[in-house]
Chain A
Amino acid sequence: MSDSFVIETADLRKRYDGVEALRGLTLAVPAGSICGFLGRTGSGKTTTIKVLLGMAAPTSGRATVFGLAADSPSASVQIRRRTGFVGDDKGLYDAMTVRGMVRYTASFYPKWSREMEEHYLRRFELPAARGIKTLSRGMRTKLAMLLALCRGADLLVLDEPTTGLDPAATEEVLQALVGHAADHGTTVFFSSHQLADVEQIADHVAIIDRGRIAVAGVLDDLRQNYRRIQLVFDGEAPDYTFQTKGVERVKRSGRVMTVLSSAGIDGVLGEARVLNPLSTDSAPVTLKDIFLDAVAVED
């Protein structure tokens, strides 16, 4: 692996009972980044995470974490020793108390920070003596976050960490995550449906669609490079195919043609002028626009 990437996959494929969950996924997550992993339900986000953590074996292709092969049982143990994981169901042992769960998890990690543990128990207002079974979803998420943060992990892998949380709890969890990553240089790879969460904390984005990476890169670069160009004609917008590279999508509606471009905005504008529009307008797009374009959902 190149030293600058914590997670790398190449042409990763995973088939479950005839269903192709991953279809040649190629991904690179830079060290120290907060990478939002976006995709629709069933697009392969959780499968990717399971393969990276050795919970599912890839059908073919390569997946490495810290340069270690994720499909090797012994390497997988080393990967997990350096990784904090929060699953989408915030799975914990219902038979234990909060304190028992913390002590149990701590026993697996030599770099566990007692100081940080006490800090997060207070910050998240977690009742140490309460049984896990009686915790609300918000409390479970906070406890799962505590367990992931205190182990001294170099990588945090979070599957839908804020699903089901109220806005205040979401904010609290995200702030804790960003603060921790900033203080410790931890790489964060988190899947989400919540575009707002990703926009708020991620610096890198990978959008997965039907088992493949559709868009990936630095979030600011994507925002800067993606442009929506609106052309207004005096009659029906022409049916025209752009030749310029970077045109992702063209949509016509009456007199208006909307072009989504991912690069080479000047070239697209130049080509558009050939069509003699009445007006041309170029505007930056949101992550939502990029996402919807990547997963080909009509907006």
Chain B
Amino acid sequence: MLWQHAFIETRWRFWSGLVLLTLSAALVALGYPQVAATAAGLAQPPAGNTVLGREIAEALEMAKRFDSYVWSQWFQKNGAQLGAFFAVIIGTGGLLSQGAAARLFTLSLPVSRRQLLGARAAAGLGQVAFLSLVPALVIVVVSPLIAKSFPVLDALAYALCAFAGCAVFFSLAFFFSSMFGSMWPPVVLALCAGAALSALDQITGGTGGFSLLQMMHGESYYYGRGLPWPTLMISAGVSAALLYAGTRLIDRQDF
């Protein structure tokens, strides 16, 4: 029943995320014929010696193949950004942001604080897993509508990478929620952390297989290097550490 309550607490955020991500994924896939036609209609790609030029050239190159287009537009961009955003939204809340009275009721139940937070973390991670998996599978399902196909295995691999990255964002929001009673500071801080990571990737050009964002995008899988297991493991470790730290903070708090 703790799970049920944890789910109820975040159900609107979850359903909103699921609907938005699923629709966006479907629209990205179904929009491919139009994008491919537009790309083919461009006679000459712009010069490739500027950043913008390189970006456009790369996008046009990606648009030549459906799987590349889907990866670049969904798993690398829209899906990753929306997924991280909703992971943060779902990760906020919990004991501190419950009303004072409801919080005392929760704390009067015969369960430990660790069980309470464990259930919330598990329910939240479950929701984040759904948000990573369902849109990826929707792409597989709608692709035949435009006479294309997207391999299920690839969708699952990208979904796993997306989940591992989103889990870090979720855990970050969970951790900050153990420090702030209001819902917004954890959202802002976790999103700032995401923006900082993204900026770091832009500046350094990524740090090989150990970039959280590159891992989240499934870049190594796309370029045929397989799943980035070390980064996946590190991400899982970071998530676990953040969840543990958040739980410890709540454990020690007076209400």
The chain A residues found within 8 Å of chain B, CB to CB, are 16, 50, 53-57, 73-74, 76-78, 80-81, 83, 85, 87-96, 104-105, 107-109, 144
Q: Interface majority SS on A: helix, strand, loop or mixed? A: loop
B1-41 interface (Cβ within 8 A of A): 1, 4-5, 8-9
B104 is an interface residue with CB less than 8 A from chain A: yes
| Smallest CB separation, B107 vs chain A (Å) | 5
Whole-angstrom distance between the alpha carbons of A78 and B110 in the complex? 7
B255 is an interface residue with CB less than 8 A from chain A: yes
| Smallest CB separation, A137 vs chain B (Å) | 11
Residues of A within 8 Å of B100, CB to CB, are: 89, 91
**A91-B101, A95-B9 given as contacts; is B108 within 8 A of A85 (CB)?**
yes
B99 is an interface residue with CB less than 8 A from chain A: yes
Interchain CB contact (< 8 A) of A91 among B1, B102, B110: B102
| Smallest CB separation, B127 vs chain A (Å) | 16
In the A-B complex, list the 10 residue pairs whose CB atoms are closest, starting with the nearest: A91-B101, A89-B101, A81-B110, A107-B1, A85-B108, A56-B254, A91-B105, A80-B110, A91-B102, A87-B104
The chain A residue with its CB closest to the CB of B11 is: A95
The chain B residues found within 8 Å of chain A, CB to CB, are 1, 4-5, 8-9, 99-105, 107-113, 251, 254-255
| Smallest CB separation, A73 vs chain B (Å) | 6
Whole-angstrom distance between the alpha carbons of A108 and B113 in the complex? 14
The chain A residue with its CB closest to the CB of B113 is: A73
Residues of B within 8 Å of A85, CB to CB, are: 104-105, 108
Residues of B within 8 Å of A80, CB to CB, are: 108-110
Residues of B within 8 Å of A107, CB to CB, are: 1
| Smallest CB separation, A19 vs chain B (Å) | 12
Whole-angstrom distance between the alpha carbons of A96 and B106 in the complex? 14
| Smallest CB separation, B124 vs chain A (Å) | 16
Q: Interface majority SS on B: helix, strand, loop or mixed? A: helix
The answer to whether A91 touches B103 (Cβ under 8 A) is yes
Residues of B within 8 Å of A57, CB to CB, are: 254
The answer to whether B108 touches A16 (Cβ under 8 A) is no
Whole-angstrom distance between the alpha carbons of A85 and B109 in the complex? 9
**Known interface pairs A55-B107, A80-B109; 19 further A-B residue pairs with C-beta atoms within 8 A, sorted by A's residue number:** A16-B254, A73-B112, A73-B113, A73-B251, A76-B112, A78-B110, A81-B110, A87-B108, A88-B101, A89-B100, A91-B99, A91-B101, A91-B104, A94-B99, A95-B9, A96-B8, A104-B4, A107-B1, A108-B1
With a 10 A CB-CB cut-off, give which of B99, B104, B254 has the most chain A CB atoms: B104
The answer to whether A50 touches B99 (Cβ under 8 A) is no
Residues of A within 8 Å of B105, CB to CB, are: 85, 87, 91-93, 144
The answer to whether A50 touches B1 (Cβ under 8 A) is no
24 of the cross-chain contacts (CB-CB < 8 Å) are A56-B254, A73-B251, A76-B112, A78-B110, A80-B108, A80-B110, A81-B110, A85-B105, A87-B101, A87-B104, A87-B105, A87-B108, A88-B101, A89-B101, A91-B99, A91-B101, A91-B105, A93-B8, A93-B102, A94-B99, A104-B5, A108-B1, A108-B110, A109-B110
Whole-angstrom distance between the alpha carbons of A83 and B101 in the complex? 17
The answer to whether B101 touches A77 (Cβ under 8 A) is no
**A55-B255, A73-B112 given as contacts; is B104 within 8 A of A89 (CB)?**
yes
Residues of B within 8 Å of A144, CB to CB, are: 105
The chain B residue with its CB closest to the CB of A57 is: B254
**A55-B104, A92-B105, A93-B5 given as contacts; is B111 within 8 A of A77 (CB)?**
yes
Interchain CB contact (< 8 A) of A54 among B4, B5, B8, B107: B107
Residues of B within 8 Å of A93, CB to CB, are: 5, 8, 102, 105
The answer to whether A55 touches B8 (Cβ under 8 A) is no
The answer to whether A108 touches B111 (Cβ under 8 A) is yes
**A91-B99, A107-B1, A108-B1 given as contacts; is B8 within 8 A of A53 (CB)?**
no
| Smallest CB separation, A18 vs chain B (Å) | 14
| Smallest CB separation, A218 vs chain B (Å) | 28
The answer to whether B4 touches A55 (Cβ under 8 A) is no
Residues of A within 8 Å of B113, CB to CB, are: 73
